Amino acid sequence: MAIRRWISTIDSHTAGHPTRVVTGGVPVLHGDSVAARRDDFRARFDPLRTFLLHEPRGHAAMVGVVMTESRVADFGAFFLGSYKYLEMCGHATIGLAVTLDHMGLIGPSDQPESRFTLEVPAGIITVSVTRVGGAVAAVTFENVPAHVAAADVPLAAGGVSVSADVVWGGNWYGLIEAAAAGVELTPNGVLHAMATGAALKARLNALIREGGVAGASEPIDSILFYETQFDEKGVVSRQLVVLESNKFDRSPCGTGSSARLAQLVARGVIGLDQPIRTRNILGVDFSATARAIEGRAGAIQPHIVGLAHITGEHRFTLADSDPLPDGFLCR
């Protein structure tokens, strides 16, 4: 059987959500920045994205990472989604850090900590890998600044009437209280959450396009449903991010957690340097802390802590006779 394409990857999951880091098979990319090389990849090699992320080799929730050189950071990377390219992805950054450690690219395993800078399309972030007994115990990344663009936007769609905050956390989010939308933050509530979230996302983006949301001009990428809880350790934000009608984030979501921090600080629920836990529907937590940014009133610097686990190393091939060379997705 003749093979006309191969791509190697290392896969991981971060609190349940997959990351597929490409380690070989991508042609040389052109551009002076990671964003420019991402654009070059999108223009010339987008079928590689669908080949890797869509069925039968992936699924709607799969996220990919393409490494590339950087002139301003230790590493460069851009993020592939099943439907679009992402400016930033927190869970995939954590997965990438664990993958780089697995490959021995960020220092010997007997070091208690390794730090590196990473250029992504959204900007430059700092990543720290903490080890205990030679194994990665935590990954911390200092995300791009987060801020609230619009608060208490009235929204009616999907059979519910709610209010949404529009917040940047590396991607754009509409933050909506889960109970107000009739969304249950459990595995059994996912199908309803995706249908409701997709309807609310479409309506909010229509309002933004029409100029009906003061302070917001860019379309949101996702809806984040949340519930605020308090225990003896502080604030717990239980949350579920809906990206599409058939796609949700299994992790607590790194950029979503960044947006949630900005919202909680803006509403006075938490203060700067006060850590919270963001918890997914599987009961796995990230730790998230908002730090001040000098000269940036109204914006916060999110610090997100989580962990990923390697799930496999793969070499994907495409045979000449394959009737679905670019993969497929069914909504």
By annotation, the residues acting in catalysis are: 89, 253
Q: Which residues contact 188 (CB under 8 A, 6 or more apart)?
A: none
Does residue 27 have a cis peptide bond before it, meaning omega lies within 30 degrees of 0?
Answer: no
Q: 3-class DSSP state for residue 200? A: helix
Helices and strands, counts by H and E, the chain: 4, 18
Q: Quick check: 114 and 98 in contact, CB under 8 A?
A: no
CA distance 165 to 224: 10
Q: Which two tokens stand for residue 306?
A: 């989580």
* Backbone angle region of 321, left / alpha / beta, with phi > 0 → left and psi within -120 to 50 → alpha: alpha
Rounded to whole angstroms, the Cα distance separating 31 from 37 reads 5
d(CA 214, CA 206): 13
Alpha carbon distance 73, 119 (integer Å): 6
243 and 86 Cβ atoms separated by less than 8 Å: no
CA of 125: how far to CAs of 19, 115, 146, 149, in Å? 18, 11, 13, 21
